[in-house]
Structure 1
């Protein structure tokens, strides 16, 4: 019989002396099932030395066979390795764990040049070999078998024939999603699962049901039991949390052990969640997704707390939610009349988590579908690892052997062109952006680790030679990376064409849109991947050559634009800013497409844009009235929120109203508010990341001082933690007066002079100094200040 199912996850187990691949899925009629495939066996490849005899080497390898996991086959195969034909041996054994042991033994056999693909996990090897797609529909030839004891599924099947993807990523209508969040109780600052209980576990499912499980005072056995029971009863396919891989799950696992509860939230009796490959927590049969992983990838959000991210993405405003500092939890929990506030706080966290799931999951699921990396792993994996799984599948299809991952020393290389901007305010500016510039350059010049000519002759007639650096690449045949990138870009183009058949508010449109975005990210990551020392297909010269061609290309385009009479205001990597003249811009686009074989388009039109003297720092007013800010304190994490607000507001006033006096008055009003103590403390918090342990710092920087004060109160502080501090009034150095923000409640205790002189005024002057405004003017009151010229007068004066 045949069965169609939506693939959630796969794993494996060894039964007797036989490996079984287990695939968890959802059928068309909504049953949760597991498919068991007993036919698949682990294997790896051996590349032979040019003079080695395959039969002789095969006999030597067979002689290494162990009874615990015998080598059941050694066969000669023709493969490619970095594009060149090679003779290889495919070595097949029985137990997956034995592959690595055989790898080390086989390396010592005479005639063996390389041992490859011995580091690919067995369950994911199955996915690659069968072309499966997590978060996608499949069809398999199966036989229904009695369900094994302890499996929390509706049915079990054995795979007896072909299993293949139906190339459909539409989620099941009844896909069950559960969001959860825990709160813990501690009086020492940093909760420790060895001693501090879980007091609240909040859950929310995709049907909108919200539940709060609370502990009996400080006895948390019941709350964990109720959570486990709820998960088993609701039986979610996906469980989402926020920072749950690093906190919630490890904490729950430890507390459950302490209070004698099994955290049986998997679809397998007796199996608890466990930390797996990329640091993610694996929950067999379900997909655990830590949404924090996706929030980390939004550079505009500097502080990644749940409340800040939820507000930024329009899920829940901070002003509309209950906010409680975790250091105050005991006060609320110890007073029964206040416990409801803490429960409400937790509920807002759970609602925010589910809201973020609605934002992140569609993209995450498409990323999983495209890369073939299961959903619970794709978020935790780096961009390079996500791309690598896509490349591994494409390599397997092309008969290319997959290189080993080897640790290498990082080697720097020259990056992209970034022009010095024409300082000042400019009206009517177009941003011309190359479409997938680096991927297209790789395609155009056939760049890849399998096409680079390191030892042979480099002939300009048969090779592409990178400018400046001189790296040489064969023009023919098309390399592995050229083939993959061509496929990716063509696929994205076809998906975007398909999107036109649907309205933007349809499910079909949204799925396709998320898929094309996932493909774009993979394609654009390919150049950087080659320069990543952790890459299987690492090639520093390849990455260096691409940036060299990129610099030459954009320099060429800038010269051509200037020859057309277009004023070039700025250029950065793969885009240029020009004074907009439709006829001339159209000619430039035509030149790039027809003469250079690349695609360039108008990405943005600014009605007005302002540049400082610094690269990568500008602010523009878009046609729809939005203000676009790049590189100022407004998007940096190490300035207080008040400084960012000031800069954003000044920029908006100057770009929209053109009123310099209004901008100055605004700054003065903020200075007055800070001096009066009427600015909330949370707007005065300065965030800085610890790059090493506090005790390893020799200089006492403010954030280090604040970190040490946290540690004295029992709060755990680690490398890469963001430390939030506020500078308070008093004697001594700034570092002495840097207090962890969670301990500062009264805005009037804040050192207003510090914030005026070191935050507000400097942030404002980054923009206003261009217009001749002085610090003294900003500190004056309205009555003291002389009348200022209008922005229009100032610009006229500048032109004259």
Structure 2
């Protein structure tokens, strides 16, 4: 019989001496099912010397066979490796863990050139070989059998023949998602799971149900039991949390151990959460997604706390929700008047988590489908690892052997063109972007580790020669990366064409839009991937050649713009800021397409844009009234929120109203509010990351001293933690007066002079000093006589 099912996850088990691939899925009629494939066996490859008889080497390999996991086949096979034909042996065994054991022994055989694909996890090997797509629909030839007692499923099937995707990535209509969040009671700062109980667990489901499991006094045994029972009763397919891989699940796992409980929440009985690949927490038969992984990819958000990210993405306004520091939880928990606020705080965390899931999951599911990485892994994996799994799938389809990952030293190379900007304010400026510049360079010049010629004669007739660096690439045949990128860009173009058939608010449009975004992310990551030292297909010369051709391309476009009288204000990598003169921009676009074979389009238009003399630093007013700020230091992590806010508001006033005096007055008013204690303390927190252990720091930096104070209060401080501190009044160095933000409750304690001199005024002056404004003028009421207006700084373009 045949069934259609939506693939959630894949795992494997070794039963006796037989590996079983376990597929977790949902059928069209909403049944949660398990499919088992007992036919698949682990294997890897050995490349052998071309002049050696394959059977001679095969006999040596068979002699290594062990009874626990015998070598059941050594098969000669023709493969390609970096585009070149090689003689290889495919070695198959029984128990997946023995692959690496055999690898080490076979590597020692003198006739073996290399051993490949022995580091691919067995369950992922199965996905690769069958071309399966997590978060996609599949059809399988199966035989139904009774559901084994160890599985929580409606039906159980044995895969007896083919299994393949059908190209449909629409999620099941009744896909069940559950968001959760825990609150912990600790009298001594950072909670310790061996000691401090979970007092509240909040959940919200995609069907709209909201529940809280609340401790009696300080006993959390019942809370954890009720939460576990609820998961089994609701039976979610996807569980989402925020920082749940690093905090919520590990904490619950340890509290369950302390309480002598089993956190049995999987679709496999005794399927307790465990740490898996990329550090994520895995739950058998369900998908756990830590949404923080996706929030960390939003560069505009400096502090990645749940409330700030939810506010930024329009899920829940921070100004309208309850905010409580975790060190205050005991006070709220013990006070009957305040306890309802703590409960509401937890509910709003859960609401925010579900809201973020609705934002992130559609993209994540498409990324999972395209890369072949299961949904719980695709967020935790780096961009390089996501792309690598896609490349591995393409390599398998093209009969290419997959290289090993080899740790190497980082090798720097020259990057992209960044022009010196024309400083000042410019009116009506268009930003032109090359469409997929680096991927198209790789396609045009056939760049890749399989096409580079490192030895021999390099001729223009047979090779592409990179400018400046002179790296040489074959014109023919098309390389692996060229083929992969053509596939990606063609697929994205096809999807964008398909999107035009639907209304922008339709489910079909949204699904296709998330898919094309995922493809764009992968295509744009390809160039950087080649320069990533951990990449399987690492090629420093390839990455270097791409940037060299990129520099030549953009410089030739700048030259042509000047020839036709189109002023270029600024350029960076694959973007140019030019006068918005439509007929000249059209001529420039036609030149780029006709002469260079690329596409360049208007990305956005600034009504007004301001540049300093520094590269990668500008602020612009868009046509819809929004303000774009790029590269000013008040957006860095070691500045307080008030500095960022002042800089943005000053920029908005200058660009929107052309009023220097109003901008100065705004800064003065902010200083006055600070002196009056009317600036919220949260806007004065300075965040800095600990890049090494506290003991390793020799200099007394403010965030290090603050971390030491937190540690003395019993808080757990680790490398990578963001330390938030506020500078308070007193004598001594600033580092001595850096107090952990949660300990500062009274605005009168704040060192306002520090914040004025080192935060507010420097942030404002990065913009205002260009117009002749000084720090002295920002601190006092000054005469405006003789000062230039903003119009005096506007470039007539």
TM range (shorter): over 0.9
Shift of 1:653: 0.8
Residue 413 of structure 2 aligns with which residue?
413
What is the 5 A alignment of 1:499-538?
Answer: 499-538=499-538
Matches within 5 A, 1:712-731: 712-731=712-731
Alignment of 1:615-626 (within 5 A): 615-626=615-626
How far does residue 625 in structure 1 lie from its aligned partner after superposition? 1.2
C-alpha separation between the residues in 2 aligned to 1:18 and 1:289? Answer: 30
Q: Deviations over 1:761-799 (max 9, x none)?
A: 111111111111111111113xx5435746345337x88
Distance 1:734 1:448 in 2: 52
Report the Cα offset of residue 634 of structure 1. Answer: 4.7
Retained in 2: the 8 A contact 1:53–1:111? no
Report the equivalent of 1:660: 660
- State how far apart, in whole Å, the 1-side matches of 2:97 and 2:488 are: 34
Query: 1:347: which partner in 2?
Result: 347
**Alignment match, 1:246:** 246
Partners of 1:660 and 1:789 within 8 A in 2: no
Q: Answer yes or no: is 1:385 the counterpart of 2:385.
A: yes
Mapped partners of 1:562, 1:707: distance in 2: 54
Q: 1:31 is matched with which residue?
A: 31
**In 2, distance between residues paired with 1:217 and 1:533?**
52
Structure 1 equivalent of residue 154 of structure 2: 154
Shift of 1:456: 2.2
Is 1:226 the counterpart of 2:202? The answer is no
Q: Displacement of 1:59 after TM fit?
A: 1.0
Map 1:421-436 onto structure 2 (within 5 A): 421-436=421-436
Q: Distance in 2 between the 1:551 and 1:498 partners?
A: 34
Q: Secondary structure at the match of 1:725?
A: strand
- 1:81 aligned to 2:81? yes
Distance 1:260 1:348 in 2: 31
Once the two structures are superposed, residues 628-650 of structure 1 have per-residue CA deviations (whole angstroms, 9 ceiling, x without a partner) of 11112453222111111111111
Which residue pairs with 2:697 in the alignment?
697
Establish whether residue 791 from structure 1 lines up as the match of residue 789 from structure 2: yes
- Offset, 1:167: 0.5
Q: Secondary structure at the match of 2:279?
A: coil
Match of 1:400 in 2: 400
- The equivalent of 1:142 in structure 2 is 142
Deviation at 1:563, TM superposition (A): 1.1
Separation (CA, whole Å) in 2 of partners of 1:792 and 1:743: 44
Match of 1:208 in 2: 208
CA contact (8 A) 1:287 1:376 kept: yes
Residues of 2 paired with 1:109 and 1:730: CA distance? 71
Q: What TM-score comes out, normalization by structure 1 length?
A: 0.98
Distance 1:110 1:682 in 2: 65
Measured in 1, the distance between the counterparts of 2:423 and 2:194 equals: 58
Matches within 5 A, 1:635-650: 635-650=635-650
Note if contact 1:245-1:290 (Cα within 8 Å) is conserved in structure 2.
yes
Q: State how far apart, in whole Å, the 1-side matches of 2:580 and 2:308 are.
A: 37
> Is the 2:443–2:486 Cα contact (8 Å) retained in structure 1?
yes
- Conserved 8 A contact 1:659-1:790: no
For the residue of structure 2 that corresponds to 1:179, the secondary structure is: strand
Q: 1:336, 1:151 → 2: CA distance? A: 44
The residue aligned with 1:576 is 576
1:217, CA displacement in angstroms?
Answer: 1.0
Relative to structure 1, the CA distance from residue 488 to residue 793 in structure 2 (aligned partners, 3 Å threshold; closer, same or farther) is closer
TM-score in terms of structure 2 length:
0.99
1:185 aligns with 2:179: no
After superposition, where does 1:759-798 map in structure 2 within 5 Å? 759-781=759-781, 784-787=782-785, 789=787, 791-795=789-793
Instruction: Tell me the residue number matched to 1:168.
Output: 168
Give the Cα separation in 2 of the matches to 1:497 and 1:664. Answer: 50
Q: Determine the C-alpha separation between the residues in 2 that align with 1:351 and 1:633.
A: 33
**Is 1:325 matched up with 2:325?**
yes
Match of 1:470 in 2: 470
Contact 2:449 2:537 in 1 (8 A): yes
Name the CA distance, whole Å, in 2 between partners of 1:83 and 1:436. Answer: 25
Does residue 1:709 correspond to 2:712, yes or no?
no
Shift of 1:271: 2.1
C-alpha separation in 2, matches of 1:95 and 1:736: 59
Give the Å deviation of 1:624: 1.2
The CA RMSD over aligned residues, in Å, is 1.2
Q: Is the 8 A contact 2:74 2:90 kept in 1?
A: yes
C-alpha spacing 1:602/1:793, structure 2 compared with 1 (3 Å): closer
Written as runs of structure 1 = structure 2, the 5 A alignment for 1:87-98 is 87-98=87-98
> What 5-or-longer segments of structure 1 have no aligned partner?
none
**1:749 CA displacement:** 1.3
Which residue of structure 1 aligns with residue 279 of structure 2?
279
What displacement does 1:98 show? Answer: 0.7
Change (3 A) 1:799 1:139: closer
Partner of 2:608: 608
> What's the secondary structure of 2:691's corresponding residue?
coil
- Cα contact 1:627–1:652 (8 A) shared by 2: yes
Q: 1:735 to 1:788 in 2, by over 3 A?
A: farther
Q: Give the total of aligned pairs.
A: 797
Alpha carbons 1:606, 1:623 under 8 Å: kept: yes
How far apart, CA to CA, are the structure 1 residues paired with 2:793 and 2:377? Answer: 54
Q: Distance in 2 between matches of 1:340 and 1:788?
A: 59
SS at match of 2:158: strand
Provide the secondary structure at the position in 1 that maps to 2:593.
helix
Query: Are 1:110 and 2:116 matched, yes or no?
Result: no
Alignment match, 1:44: 44
Give the match for residue 16 of structure 2. 16
Report the Cα distance in structure 1 between the residues aligned to 2:791 and 2:596, rounded to whole angstroms.
43
Cα shift at 1:160: 0.7
Deviations 1:569-600 (A, max 9, x none): 10101111111111111111111111001111
Distance 1:736 1:20 in 2: 60
- Superposed displacement of residue 337, structure 1: 3.6
Structure 2 Cα separation of the partners of residues 716 and 592 of structure 1: 56
- Residue in 2 aligned with 1:316? 316
Q: SS where residue 609 of structure 2 aligns?
A: strand
Deviation at 1:344, TM superposition (A): 1.0
Shift of residue 120, structure 1, vs aligned partner: 0.4
Distance 2:478 2:67 in 1: 45
Q: Give the corresponding residue for 1:458.
A: 458
| Structure 2 Cα separation of the partners of residues 422 and 214 of structure 1 | 61
In 1: Cα distance, 2:579 partner to 2:298 partner? 30
Cross-structure match for 2:360: 360
Question: Using the alignment, how far apart are the partners of 1:707 and 1:422 within structure 2?
Answer: 43
8 Å CA contact 2:427, 2:796 repeated in 1: no
* CA deviations over 1:659-702 (Å, ceiling 9, x no partner): 11111111111111111111111111111111111221111111
In 1, distance between residues paired with 2:620 and 2:270?
A: 58
Supply the distance in 2 between the matched residues of 1:795 and 1:326 (Cα, whole angstroms). Answer: 49
* Counterparts of 1:188 and 1:562, CA distance in 2: 66
Q: Secondary structure at the match of 1:278?
A: helix
Partners in 2 of 1:617 and 1:748 — Cα distance? 35
Q: Relative to structure 2, which stretch is displaced further, 551-560 or 223-232?
A: 551-560
Once residues 634 and 360 of structure 2 are traced to their aligned partners in structure 1, the CA distance between those partners, rounded to angstroms, is 24
Give the distance between the partners of 1:795 and 1:387, measured in 2 at CA.
Answer: 46
1:548 is aligned to 548
- Conserved? CA contact 2:424–2:793, under 8 Å: no
Q: Are residues 1:440 and 2:440 paired?
A: yes
What is aligned with 1:755? 755
Give the conservation status (yes or no) of the 8 Å contact 1:771–1:794.
no
1:661/1:788 contact within 8 Å kept: no
> Partners in 2 of 1:773 and 1:226 — Cα distance?
63
8 Å Cα contact 2:426-2:796 kept in structure 1 = no
* Structure 1 residue 216, shift from structure 2 partner: 1.6
Match of 1:605, SS state, is: strand
